[in-house]
Amino acid sequence: MITVAIPKGGLLADSIRVFKSVGLDFSAFLDSSNRQLQIYDPTETAKALLVRGQDVPVYVEYGQADLGIVGYDTLREKKPKVAHLIDLKFGQCRLSVAVKASSSYRRSVELPPHGRVASKYVHCAREYFQNLNLPVEIVPLYGSVELGPITGMSEAIVDLVETGKTLRENGLVEIDILFESTAYLIGNPLSYRLNAGGVNELIGKIREQILTAA
């Protein structure tokens, strides 16, 4: 039996749609009254685990799930030992540097040396500023990162931007982009190599669906 790890939140509905397109129905996860975290497809050929996005690669790397769907941003931040199988093209967003609109900074390199940058993406942010040769202090935050510059705790943030609405409504502007992100199908390297439970056929079907939809 194949096990897939599905992310809660913004990628959930599209992830379920992808599996449905290849005959696996995990739509019970969309029911707001559902509290089950592990469900079986009605054909009983596969089961799904409902986990937080950042935990998807953990289940896949440790082999509790053969496949998973996760944002490229999470893969860049966590660098898990998983196979990046297919760019699923949904969940488009970007990891960006943003500052208060009223500030004078218009590029990352203009930020003051030894200034503070708040982010959930600590590793990506650190790597980015190291590459710019700009020493900054990365302040880890786990939500409402926009409050960093608003409260004066940090000069800038590194955060995901999808529509830009959150930045706008909080008086912030994007000044640089670290990278673009979309959802990826990832796989446990061993499951993939051994074709556990016929996982390669399933990957092939998903690839076909994505190519047809493109």
Minimum distance of ligand PRP from residue 162's CB (angstroms): 3
Size, binding site for ligand PRP by CB under 6 A: 10
Candidates 87, 162, 180, 208: give the one binding ligand PRP (CB under 6 A). 162
Report which of 132, 37, 123, 38 is spatially closest to residue 80, judged by C-alpha positions: 123
Candidates 166, 198, 205, 210: give the one binding ligand PRP (CB under 6 A). 166
Is 161 one of the binding residues for ligand PRP (CB under 6 A)?
yes
Distance CA 126, CA 138 (A): 7
- The 3-state DSSP class for residue 97 equals strand
Is 54 one of the binding residues for ligand PRP (CB under 6 A)?
no
Minimum distance of ligand PRP from residue 53's CB (angstroms): 8
Is 159 one of the binding residues for ligand PRP (CB under 6 A)?
yes
Q: How distant, in Å, are the alpha carbons of 41, 51, 56, 118, 197 from that of 149? A: 46, 31, 30, 8, 50
Looking at 111-119, 129-137, 159-167, 198-206, which segment touches ligand PRP (CB under 6 A)? 159-167
Minimum distance of ligand PRP from residue 28's CB (angstroms): 23
Distance CA 48, CA 30 (A): 13
Phi, psi at 134, each rounded to 5°: -115, 110
Q: Which is nearer to ligand PRP, 158 or 199 (CB)?
A: 158
Q: Which three-class secondary structure string do you get for 25-62?
A: CCHHHHCCCCCCCEEECCCCCEEEEEECHHHHHHHHHC
- How are beta strands 116-119 and 2-7 bridged, if at all? unpaired
Looking at 68-76, 97-105, 154-162, 179-187, which segment touches ligand PRP (CB under 6 A)? 154-162
Q: Which residues bind ligand PRP (CB under 6 A)?
A: 10, 143, 159-166
